[in-house]
Structure 1
Amino acid sequence: MNLVYIVTIGVLFAAGVSLMLERSLTRVIMGIILVGNGGNLLILVGGTSGSAPLVGWFPAEEMSDPLPQAMILTAIVITLGLTAFLLALAYRSWQLLGHDDVQDDVEDRRIMKRAERDEGPDDLNDTGTDEAQSEPMSEFEGERSDT
């Protein structure tokens, strides 16, 4: 296997994953396309090179395996379908909100506030139990109830 192929596959996967971690759906789409192309190149480079898989024309040791080619074709179709779906989501988000950024969920914000409040070793008393956990919590706002 050529070193150029290995570096290219690594760059495609690294750039794709870093783009998929962004908040913008446009960048997520670009990341999925890059990861899909990196996966296709990985499948293509993983096999041995050879001629077309025509039975009877070439000796068996000179024929290439058609399975990686079929897998790459299937992966291209799946990536295209996923890209079309994400483009429709981004377009609809742009129509409704004026941007394509993915917003935090209300439940995610509540869990983050609870985690920030519960952090720190100074919340523990001498027995090693957490006093904040012994008080009942309000179900909707993540605040301690006064009852």
Structure 2
Amino acid sequence: MIKIIFTLIIAIFSLTSIANASSSNDIKINNAWLRVAPNKVAVAFFTIENSTDKTIQILSAKTKHAKRTELHNHIMNNGIMKMRQVKLVEVKANDTVKFNPHGYHLMMFNLDIDAFKPGKQVEIIFTFDNDTEQKAMFRVIAFGMKKPKNMKTDHSKMPIKK
């Protein structure tokens, strides 16, 4: 009897692992890069693709190399473009959202500046409304440099944790 229960427990954990592994291909973070401003602030840009049949929400992002990380958006207010923090970013089912300099973006404050040297990569962990997390590596480019061209970064193989 104990062997049967033990076998069932192992089977359940195995199925959970398989389900989590397959879902990592359903949410892809691509073209991930960031730049650092002179005042220990960084801004990150990327594309997130939701290949599931359900809307997902990005609730937060974090990195061990910044004390604070916030989701932001630019909005037009009385003819003036303003940057605002947002609580979440929604990615509809089978849709893509681009985080770019004039729209959604990720702000990081009080940086461990040594981790943000041009050419290095910084790991950022995203938390979603379905209690999963996904890691993505962001390439650091120098302040004042243009967005890298033809980036082919695919973070869909990075683990999602539940």
User: Do they superpose with TM above 0.5?
Assistant: no
Q: Which has the higher contact order (CA 8 A, sep 6+)?
A: 2
Q: TM-score, normalised on structure 2? A: 0.22
Task: Select the structure that is richer in helix.
Answer: 1
Q: Which has the larger radius of gyration?
A: 1
Q: TM-score, normalised on structure 1? A: 0.23
Task: Select the structure that is richer in strand.
Answer: 2
